[in-house]
Amino acid sequence: MRHSTSLLLGLSTLSVMAQTEGSNFTVSGTGIATTLVSDYQSIGINPANLGFDLKYEDPRFAFGLLEMSYSVYTNGVTRKVLRKDMLRDFDRTFTGNEQEMAAQNFTDADLAVNADVRLFGFAFQHDKAGGFAVQVADRFQWSSFFNGTTAELLFQGRRADYFSNLLLADSSVIANTSGLSEDTLALVIAGFNDAGQGRTISQLMDDTRISLNWTREYAFSWGRRMFVTGPVEWHGGIGFRYLQGFAHIDIGEKDGKWEGFTALTPVFDVDYGTAAISNPSTVNGGGMKSVGSGFSGDVGLTAVIKEVLKVGVAATNLGSMTWNGNVYKAKDDTLYSLSSPGFTTYNFFDQAEVITSDLGVFDWDGVKERKVATPGMLRAGVSYMIKEKAEVGIDLIVPLNEVPGNLVKPQFSVGGEYAPVKFMTLQMGVITGGNYDTRLPMGILFRMPGGLWEGGVATRDMLSYFGQETPTVSLCVGVLRFRL
């Protein structure tokens, strides 16, 4: 059975979930998190911070529900196109010319989609036993880069310039040249090359990268103050999580060799055709069935100097997952012909039945399972508190491996927060690297006395509201966070 990479890009339009601060709306506006987060928000960032809470002395319990965040970034289109066409009016049908324009826009362009949903988080902190935290959270992370040929095949399908000939509905064959009328293009049912003129998938997708990771984690972390040396308090922590996998896609060059793997939960309703008959990992039925599982862990250390300067380091998400449901490996076949019409709207997922039929680009073989490392990161951060009203700092995050869901390059950020009044905090920062261009996060938090209730909203790039180039559309929000 053949698939098109159109489906893979279509998955990226889902706003259900590598944001480095996750769904922690309390720090998203600062751009830094390694030394700022506390209680259950320390999970996945720095479990050592469970051993302290410099903001509120009395509350021992913290819990939150439905803390959410998402970001969509691309340097292929303007902010107006991203917001209006890709995220709002994605059901509008393309014309032939619009398909060609979309292919040009996404040539040599990045697309990154990240979303996190913390369904539930809870923490208990004790002076001697330390802090304990649990959470259930979903994470969705997509990253892609298309070369010119890949973009044409995705958006123009059978009419891509890659094909020298076009087969029309009346069985006639014409040359694929520029200037064909819309009426003629509407009659095209396949594009093809003569024998010996095709190229392998790995050649066509040179420099192309497509990665997706969607998991649900059930996490536990513990941290406490370990000892004191002079003015320095040393805090340590560890964390563990069980992972359920719902989607995994990894296409691109690995160690000098092109590879393509996919594992998708049945909720995507992908028709794998005859390839599913002999696949030992086929998952029958529908719904949100897990197609992978695994474990990962975190370890962190934070030094608090004179209760104002914090220095933290953590290694997070160290582990592996085994994908054993609906696992397929792409063949490196030569592409001679294609019947797929390509993207006809930005609602790529809605077209999955057409895209994933035998008309597509890829030819897949079913495999039993695939074991991959989880997207591990090394974090380091420093922050300084100013008269209990402000805290400023820097963060450095380095990816430890090249797997779906991780950063593609190191990320550096500087930022902070300021509370002009007790019930409100303003946040701002600057972030560069990672999966995005340089951006300016901003946020605002509101709270009741003693932190009994906290709520807030943040954006990961305020600059995109003032310019159209390299836009980021993002939102991080939480309104159900409490301390007792």
Q: Which pLDDT tens digit goes with each residue over 371-423?
A: 999 999 999 999 999 988 999 999 999 999 988 778 888 999 999 999 999 89
Q: Please, is 289 exposed, middle or buried when counting C-beta atoms within 10 Å of its C-beta (0-12, 13-18, 19+)?
A: middle
Question: Binning pLDDT at 50, 70 and 90, where does residue 53 land?
Answer: low
What is the percentage of the chain residues whose pLDDT exceeds 70? 89
Using one digit for the tens of pLDDT, what is the confidence trace for 78-87? Answer: 777 777 777 7
In tens, the pLDDT along 158-204 reads: 889 999 999 999 999 999 998 888 889 889 999 999 888 889 989 99
Q: What is the per-residue DSSP string for 43-110? A: TTT-GGGGG--SS-SS--EEEEEEEEEEEEEESSS-HHHIIIIITTSTTSPPPHHHHHHHHHHTTTEE
Name which of 84-88, 219-223, 436-440, 474-478 the model is least confident about. 84-88
Residue type at position 207: D
SS3 call for 352: helix
d(CA 435, CA 160) in angstroms, rounded, equals: 29
Model confidence band, residue 13 (pLDDT cutoffs 50, 70, 90):
very low
d(CA 67, CA 44): 15
Fold of 2-483: Porin (2.40.160)
**Between these two residues, 238 and 142, which has the higher pLDDT value?**
238
Cα distance between residue 317 and residue 294, in whole Å: 11
Q: Cα Rg for the chain, rounded, in angstroms?
A: 24
List Cβ neighbours of 177 (8 Å cut-off, separation of 6 or more): none
Confidence of residue 57 (pLDDT cuts 50, 70, 90): low
| CA–CA distances in Å: residue 208 to residues 148, 151, 251, 254 | 9, 9, 8, 12
Residue 85 has what DSSP assignment? Answer: I
Residue 11 has pLDDT above 50, yes or no: no
Confidence of residue 14 (pLDDT cuts 50, 70, 90): very low
- For residue 13, the SS3 value is coil
User: pTM for this one?
Assistant: 0.85
Domain range annotation of the chain: 2-483
Q: Which residue shows structure tokens 């953590």?
A: 314
Closest alpha carbon to 157 in 188, 116, 196: 188
141 band by pLDDT with thresholds 50, 70 and 90:
confident
Cα–Cα distances (Å) from 136 to 67, 246, 406, in that order, read: 11, 15, 20
**Residue 97 banded pLDDT, cuts 50, 70, 90:** confident
> For residues 171 and 382, what is the distance between their CA atoms, to the nearest angstrom?
68
**256 or 459: whose pLDDT is higher?**
459
